[in-house]
């Protein structure tokens, strides 16, 4: 140590005073240490800094001036520096922490320089207290942080404001666009728009308004829209409208107004009340469309949905609704109601014969006549085809309904002139009464229908009131149907034969095959009881085949047995005839199976049968005659065939209906009819058979007219085959 001091002193020997002066006058603290860290010099400023006297520090390790963590590393650091020359401190200015004698720590700026002399290394450190600067720095830092914080906050606020401004801007531009759109809509709308002030004075209308109403803008602006009132609505209508507006701020409805040209038209109007911020009415906005066209379409649709397009009568739908409604009214006022079902008797014939156009015209005429028979409050409806109904409301007594029905029948019996033709139709009417025949519409309809069916069955051209027995009859039909079905399956049918006798030649020339139902319990059932049902249900087809087969077999047997050439006549039903080719094939098959020559078979058809689908019937019948079969027109005179008409069919024989023969020769009318038929047949070169001949007088009468072929009880009723065979034997004897 002494050596180092000496060396230092020696180094500064010539300038020791200067050294001392510099040391002591320096504002910064100065410390000189040797390479071990021992303090060699410590100036006054250093004393002030550290609170140590120079003599307290000199000779001590400099680390005493450092706080704990630095102190420990200092010696090692010096050693490493001297050994390796790696500097950390030397040559730089660093901020370090000093430790005062009283233990207080403070920041220092330290710059160290090194100098060597005579193999010794020294370090001089200049120390500058930077407490103040540090404090300033900290304060500054704090101030900056605060400032930054404020700036950040402000920025945030600004951003927020900006955002809202942006939103506001967008909103405004959208509103502007909407406004533009609204005014465009206002101007170009198809709906008329009218805006008034709070006193309902018009302030604006659009083009559509001008177009629809015909009013110019200056005619309406400033005035009350009521100038377009049509006068169609009463005060209460407008009151209800204003009440609605007051209550809900909105009113919609159909309203009739007047156009400038005076025309009254319907429109669909919606009025909306507009209120200002103070919730006071500021405007009324009316939007409307002209619905006159839509109304027309609606009316047309209504017409289509509820009325028959041909006759303009209510259709089935409207009929049902009216009936329900009328029933309610009748119930309320304790009135009687009558329901009629009307069926035209020969409509199908007219339609098939003269074509649909004529049929249609006929229906139109019929509907006119029907309307003419009832009061205004009554309903005449067409349910379809030739089915009409009449609802008579307020029927005093049953007789009233009977009168109306009778009148309808009379009116429809009068000839109808269509397309140069005189058409004769007629009607059958079934009547049900409310309340006695049914409480509800469904029952009344069912019962009127049953009564009508009975009227038709009862000979047509009549009306029938529904009777409870008719219901029983309907039930009977239903059980009968089931039994008939079984009979077809079990082939419970047999064939009876009734001879046709040539009274002049005195011999049997043929026989009519007549079906019988041999019911296991009821015994023999006659065809009158089941043929209509069999026709209706289609069971007549299998029955017909069974009869045909049996009859042909039998005829062939008698032919083979040598009874002569007896032609067998088989009755045909309309159903069989409408089978056309299929029926023809059946015939061919039966003839082939039985071996009966076709000319030994005669087919009996009725007028009404062949009047259906005339052209096809003619074709089918022609096919049969071409095969060699004979054709007879059965029940002649009951239908409506005219002479010219008859010529079109390939008929060989006319059979005069029993009903005309029955009262001859007593009834002059029947005598005239039978005579006419016979002479007509002769002129057409047709064979005539008189049916239902029961008495000698009839026989003679017919003989005198030249009618030779006779069928009837006078000779024989229909007989089972064995009895018929006996008859043949007896007759030829």
Task: Report the interface residues with ligand C2E, using CB under 6 A.
Answer: 498, 514-515, 526-528, 531, 540, 544, 547, 571-573, 604, 634-635, 658, 692-694, 711-713, 718
Closer CB to ligand C2E, 286 or 544, in the complex: 544
Q: Please, are residues 257 and 264 in contact by the beta-carbon 8 Å criterion?
A: yes
Least distance in angstroms from the C-beta of 332 to ligand C2E:
50
Closer CB to ligand C2E, 515 or 629, in the complex: 515
Closer CB to Ca ion, 607 or 634, in the complex: 634
SS (H, E, C) 455-481: HHHCCCCCEEECCHHHHHHHHHHHHHH
Structure tokens at 410: 């009379």
- Sorted by sequence, the CB contacts under 8 Å of residue 487 that are 6+ apart come out as 493, 517, 519
**CA pair distance 492, 495, nearest whole angstrom:** 10
Geometric angle at alpha carbon 624, from 621 and 625, rounded to 5°: 90
Closer CB to Ca ion, 449 or 604, in the complex: 604
Least distance in angstroms from the C-beta of 385 to ligand C2E:
25
Least distance in angstroms from the C-beta of 634 to ligand C2E:
5
Geometric angle at alpha carbon 634, from 570 and 631, rounded to 5°: 60
Closer CB to ligand C2E, 193 or 509, in the complex: 509
Q: Looking at 345, 361, 492, 604, which residue binds Ca ion (CB under 5 A)?
A: 604
Closer CB to ligand C2E, 217 or 584, in the complex: 584
Closer CB to Ca ion, 292 or 549, in the complex: 549
**Interacting partner of 238 out of Ca ion, ligand C2E, none (Cβ under 5 to 8 A depending on kind):** none
Q: Which stretch binds Ca ion (CB under 5 A): 154-162, 171-179, 370-378, 563-571?
A: 563-571
Closer CB to ligand C2E, 353 or 711, in the complex: 711
**CA pair distance 457, 503, nearest whole angstrom:** 35
Q: Which DSSP helix (H) or strand (E) runs through 206?
A: none
**Interacting partner of 694 out of ligand C2E, Ca ion, none (Cβ under 5 to 8 A depending on kind):** ligand C2E
Is 529 exposed, middle or buried (CB count within 10 Å of its CB: 0-12, 13-18, 19+)?
middle
**CA pair distance 124, 43, nearest whole angstrom:** 11
DSSP H helices, 506-613, are 527-537, 540-560, 574-578, 581-594, 607-610
Least distance in angstroms from the C-beta of 373 to ligand C2E:
35
Closer CB to ligand C2E, 251 or 493, in the complex: 493
Closer CB to Ca ion, 57 or 690, in the complex: 690
**Interacting partner of 438 out of Ca ion, ligand C2E, none (Cβ under 5 to 8 A depending on kind):** none
Tell which positions 410-429 bind Ca ion, by CB under 5 A.
Answer: none
Number of H helices, E strands in the chain: 27, 27
Query: In 237-336, where do the E strands start and end?
Result: 250-258, 264-275, 281-290
Residues 71, 76, 79, 81, CA torsion sign? negative
Least distance in angstroms from the C-beta of 602 to ligand C2E:
12
**Interacting partner of 639 out of Ca ion, ligand C2E, none (Cβ under 5 to 8 A depending on kind):** none
**Interacting partner of 125 out of Ca ion, ligand C2E, none (Cβ under 5 to 8 A depending on kind):** none
Least distance in angstroms from the C-beta of 469 to ligand C2E:
23
Q: Which stretch binds Ca ion (CB under 5 A): 313-321, 328-336, 569-577, 640-648?
A: 569-577
Least distance in angstroms from the C-beta of 455 to ligand C2E:
21
Closer CB to ligand C2E, 603 or 678, in the complex: 603
Q: Which stretch binds Ca ion (CB under 5 A): 239-247, 281-289, 446-454, 604-612?
A: 604-612
Number of neighbours of residue 42 by Cβ within 10 angstroms: 27
Closer CB to ligand C2E, 286 or 712, in the complex: 712
Q: Looking at 634, 639, 656, 677, which residue binds Ca ion (CB under 5 A)?
A: 634
Query: Could you say whether residue 576 binds Ca ion (CB under 5 A)?
Result: no
Least distance in angstroms from the C-beta of 699 to ligand C2E:
11
How many residues at the interface with Ca ion, by CB under 5 A? 5
Q: DSSP string spanning 632-701?
A: EEEEETSS---HHHHHTS---EEEE-HHHHHTTTT-HHHHHHHHHHHHHHHHTT-EEEE----SHHHHHH
Q: Which of 683, 602, 673, 688 is nearest to 637 (CA)?
A: 673
Q: Please, are residues 343 and 456 in contact by the beta-carbon 8 Å criterion?
A: yes
Lay out the site mask for Ca ion across 665-704 (x = CB under 5 A, - = otherwise): --------------------------x-------------
Query: Could you say whether residue 606 binds Ca ion (CB under 5 A)?
Result: no
Structure tokens at 422: 């005189």
Least distance in angstroms from the C-beta of 493 to ligand C2E:
8
Q: How far apart, in Å, are the Cα atoms of 17 and each of 33, 46, 267, 582?
A: 19, 19, 124, 159
Closer CB to Ca ion, 311 or 573, in the complex: 573
Structure tokens at 201: 């004075």
**Interacting partner of 498 out of ligand C2E, Ca ion, none (Cβ under 5 to 8 A depending on kind):** ligand C2E
Structure tokens at 347: 């409509």
**Interacting partner of 531 out of ligand C2E, Ca ion, none (Cβ under 5 to 8 A depending on kind):** ligand C2E
Least distance in angstroms from the C-beta of 514 to Ca ion:
7
Least distance in angstroms from the C-beta of 296 to ligand C2E:
54
**Interacting partner of 510 out of ligand C2E, Ca ion, none (Cβ under 5 to 8 A depending on kind):** none
Query: Could you say whether residue 607 binds Ca ion (CB under 5 A)?
Result: no
Closer CB to Ca ion, 290 or 604, in the complex: 604
Least distance in angstroms from the C-beta of 501 to Ca ion:
16
Least distance in angstroms from the C-beta of 325 to Ca ion:
48
SS (H, E, C) 381-393: EEEECCEEEEEEC
The alpha-carbon radius of gyration of the chain (Å, integer) is: 64
End-to-end CA, the chain:
192
Give the distance, in angstroms, between the CA of residue 613 and the centroid of all CA atoms in the same chain.
38
Q: Please, are residues 711 and 500 in contact by the beta-carbon 8 Å criterion?
A: yes
Least distance in angstroms from the C-beta of 502 to ligand C2E:
16
**Interacting partner of 314 out of ligand C2E, Ca ion, none (Cβ under 5 to 8 A depending on kind):** none
HSE, side-chain direction, 13 A CA sphere, residue 4? 19
Least distance in angstroms from the C-beta of 329 to ligand C2E:
47
Closer CB to ligand C2E, 29 or 718, in the complex: 718
- Specify the pairing of strand 653-656 against strand 105-117: unpaired
Q: Looking at 352, 386, 635, 670, which residue binds Ca ion (CB under 5 A)?
A: 635
Closer CB to ligand C2E, 383 or 651, in the complex: 651
**CA pair distance 611, 30, nearest whole angstrom:** 150
Structure tokens at 129: 């207290």
**Interacting partner of 515 out of Ca ion, ligand C2E, none (Cβ under 5 to 8 A depending on kind):** ligand C2E
HSE, side-chain direction, 13 A CA sphere, residue 556? 15
Q: Looking at 45, 206, 571, 576, which residue binds Ca ion (CB under 5 A)?
A: 571
Least distance in angstroms from the C-beta of 353 to ligand C2E:
22
- Sorted by sequence, the CB contacts under 8 Å of residue 314 that are 6+ apart come out as 306, 307, 308, 322, 379, 380, 381, 382
SS (H, E, C) 512-527: EEEEEEEECCCEEECH
Query: Phi-psi category of 101—alpha, beta or left, where left has phi over 0 and alpha has psi -120 to 50?
Result: alpha
Query: Could you say whether residue 326 binds Ca ion (CB under 5 A)?
Result: no
Structure tokens at 717: 């009723």
Residue numbers at the binding site for Ca ion (CB under 5 A): 571, 604, 634-635, 691
């Amino acid at each position: 140590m002494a050596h180092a001091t000496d060396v230092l002193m020696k180094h500064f020997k010539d300038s020791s005073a200067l050294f001392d002066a510099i040391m002591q006058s320096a504002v910064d603290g100065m410390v000189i240490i040797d390479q071990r860290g021992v303090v060699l010099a410590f100036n006054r400023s250093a004393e002030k800094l550290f609170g140590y006297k120079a003599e307290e520090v000199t000779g001590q390790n400099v680390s005493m001036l450092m706080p704990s963590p630095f102190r420990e590393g200092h010696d090692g650091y010096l050693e490493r520096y001297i050994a390796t020359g790696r500097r950390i401190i030397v040559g730089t200015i660093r901020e370090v922490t000093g430790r005062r004698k009283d233990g207080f720590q403070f920041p220092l700026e330290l710059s160290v320089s090194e100098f060597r002399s005579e193999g010794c290394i020294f370090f001089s450190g200049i120390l500058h207290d930077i407490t103040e600067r540090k404090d300033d720095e900290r304060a500054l830092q704090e101030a900056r942080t605060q400032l930054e914080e404020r700036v950040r906050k402000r920025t945030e606020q600004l951003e927020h404001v900006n955002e809202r401004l942006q939103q506001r801007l967008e909103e405004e531009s959208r509103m502007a666009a909407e406004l533009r759109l609204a005014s465009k809509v206002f101007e170009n709308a198809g709906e008329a728009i009218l805006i008034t002030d709070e006193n309902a004075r018009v302030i604006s209308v659009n083009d559509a308004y001008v177009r629809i109403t015909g009013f110019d803008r200056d005619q309406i602006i400033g005035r009350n829209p009521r100038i377009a009132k049509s006068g169609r609505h009463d005060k209460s209508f407008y009151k209800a409208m204003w009440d609605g507006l007051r209550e809900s701020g909105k009113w919609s409805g159909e309203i009739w107004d007047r156009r400038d040209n005076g025309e009254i038209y319907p429109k669909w109007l919606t009025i909306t009340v507009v209120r200002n911020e103070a919730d006071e009415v500021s405007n009324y906005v009316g939007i409307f469309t002209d619905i006159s066209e839509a109304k027309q379409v609606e009316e047309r649709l209504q017409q289509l949905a509820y009325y028959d397009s041909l006759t303009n009568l209510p259709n089935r739908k409207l009929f049902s609704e009216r009936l329900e409604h009328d029933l309610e009214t009748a119930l309320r006022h304790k009135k009687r109601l009558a329901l009629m079902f009307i069926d035209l008797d020969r409509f199908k014939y007219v339609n098939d014969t003269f074509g649909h156009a004529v049929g249609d015209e006929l229906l139109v005429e019929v509907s006119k006549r029907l309307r003419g028979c009832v009061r205004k409050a009554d309903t005449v409806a067409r349910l379809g085809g030739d089915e009409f109904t009449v609802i008579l409301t307020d029927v005093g007594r049953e007789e009233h309904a009977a009168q109306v029905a009778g009148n309808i029948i009379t009116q429809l019996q009068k000839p109808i002139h269509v397309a140069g033709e005189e058409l004769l139709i007629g009607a059958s009417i079934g009547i049900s009464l409310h309340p006695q025949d049914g409480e509800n519409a469904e029952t009344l309809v069912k019962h009127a229908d049953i009564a009508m069916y009975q009227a038709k069955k009862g000979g047509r051209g009549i009306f029938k009131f529904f009777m409870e027995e008719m219901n029983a009859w309907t039930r009977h039909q239903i059980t009968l149907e089931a039994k008939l079905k079984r009979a077809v399956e079990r082939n419970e049918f047999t064939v009876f034969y009734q001879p046709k006798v040539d009274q002049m030649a005195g011999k049997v020339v043929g026989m009519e095959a007549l079906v019988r139902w041999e019911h296991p319990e009821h015994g023999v059932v006659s065809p009158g009881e089941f043929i209509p049902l069999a026709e209706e249900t289609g069971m007549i087809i299998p029955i017909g085949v069974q009869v045909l087969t049996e009859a042909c077999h039998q005829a062939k047997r008698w032919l083979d047995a040598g009874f002569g050439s007896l032609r067998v006549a088989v009755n045909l039903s309309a159903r069989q005839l409408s089978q056309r080719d299929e029926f023809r094939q059946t015939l061919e098959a039966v003839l082939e199976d039985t071996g009966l020559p076709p000319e030994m078979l005669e087919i009996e058809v009725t007028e009404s049968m062949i009047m259906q689908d005339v052209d096809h019937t003619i074709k089918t019948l022609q096919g049969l005659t071409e095969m060699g079969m004979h054709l007879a027109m059965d029940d002649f005179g009951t239908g409506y065939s005219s002479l010219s008409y008859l010529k079109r069919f390939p008929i060989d024989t006319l059979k005069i209906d029993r009903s005309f023969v029955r009262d001859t020769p007593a009834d002059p009318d029947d005598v005239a009819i039978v005579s006419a038929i016979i002479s007509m047949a002769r002129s057409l070169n047709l064979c005539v058979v008189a049916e239902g001949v029961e008495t000698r007088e009839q026989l003679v009468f017919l003989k005198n007219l030249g009618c030779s072929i006779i069928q009837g009880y006078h000779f024989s009723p229909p007989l089972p085959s064995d009895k018929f065979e006996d008859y043949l034997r007896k007759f030829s004897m």
